[in-house]
Amino acid sequence: MTPAAIIPVDALLLLDYVGIAVFAISGALLAAEKKQTLVTFIFFAVVTGVGGGTVRDLLIGAPVFWVHTNATLLICIAAAIAVWFLSRKVIADKALLWFDAVGLAAFATYGAAKALNYGVAPVPAFAMGVMTACVGGIIRDVLAGEPSILMRPELYVTAAALASGLFVALSLFGAPPGLAALVAGLAGFSLRGAAIARGLSLPAYDR
């Protein structure tokens, strides 16, 4: 399918690289917490960095973003090696959560932008942004035997939904892509950051 020229995604490509890098770091950090080998560090970095975007591209009919370029996997490998050589004293206790929060906001925004650019309707484009942001982390946690982010009480998917939905809404109202991405990304990161810092969560079903 030929992309519909709605949003110049190339102008937002930095968001994609930021998301890849920080999600790869979060994957490697989880391997560090589990005291795994360098090979496992790299595997977790790659799976976390490309998981959500791979599912998104398959669903919207786009070429899978990391298959035809060296940069994506090299970013993931470099992230894993960097974490491997860091002392545990350098890595703060909540580093994994904060790196994940940055990746969440960046991927949610970029995923929605790419979906819109491929002619996806606004509501499915919003869903593609959420999927881009969350699937990599879900795969990472499942492989590591950690409780899935979907089963945690604090705001996570909600923050991705805020960033993705806000970007789609601002784009439909004609906001410049850069401004829409900045506002949406900051909003998503702020909500996720508040959840990390203050333990914010949605009410659970209790009936």
What residue segments make up the domains of the chain, in order of their start? 9-198
Phi and psi (nearest 5°) for 76? -65, -45
Cβ 51 vs Cβ 149: under 8 Å: no
d(CA 151, CA 167): 26
Average pLDDT, the chain: 87
pLDDT of residue 3: 44
Position 11 confidence tier, pLDDT thresholds 50, 70, 90:
low
- Is the pLDDT at 90 greater than 80? The verdict is no
Q: By three-state DSSP, how is residue 201 classified?
A: strand
d(CA 161, CA 104): 10
Amino acid at 30: L
pLDDT of residue 4: 45
Tell me the per-residue pLDDT of 121-162, one tens digit each, with 9 for 90 and over.
999 999 999 999 999 989 988 988 888 877 777 788 999 999
Cβ 109 vs Cβ 129: under 8 Å: yes
- Is the pLDDT at 8 greater than 90? The verdict is no
Tell me the per-residue pLDDT of 63-81, one tens digit each, with 9 for 90 and over.
999 999 999 999 999 999 9
**Which of 91-95, 96-100, 192-196 has the weakest average pLDDT?**
91-95
Q: By three-state DSSP, how is residue 154 classified?
A: strand
Cβ 128 vs Cβ 161: under 8 Å: no
**Dihedral class, residue 61 (left if φ above 0, else alpha if ψ from -120 to 50, else beta):** left
Higher pLDDT, 87 or 40: 40
The CA-based dihedral angle spanning residues 106, 53, 122, 127, taken in that order and rounded to the nearest 10 degrees: -90
Tell me the per-residue pLDDT of 154-187, one tens digit each, with 9 for 90 and over.
788 999 999 999 999 999 999 998 899 999 999 9
What pTM, to 2 d.p., does this model score?
0.87
Q: Average of pLDDT values for 42-71?
A: 95
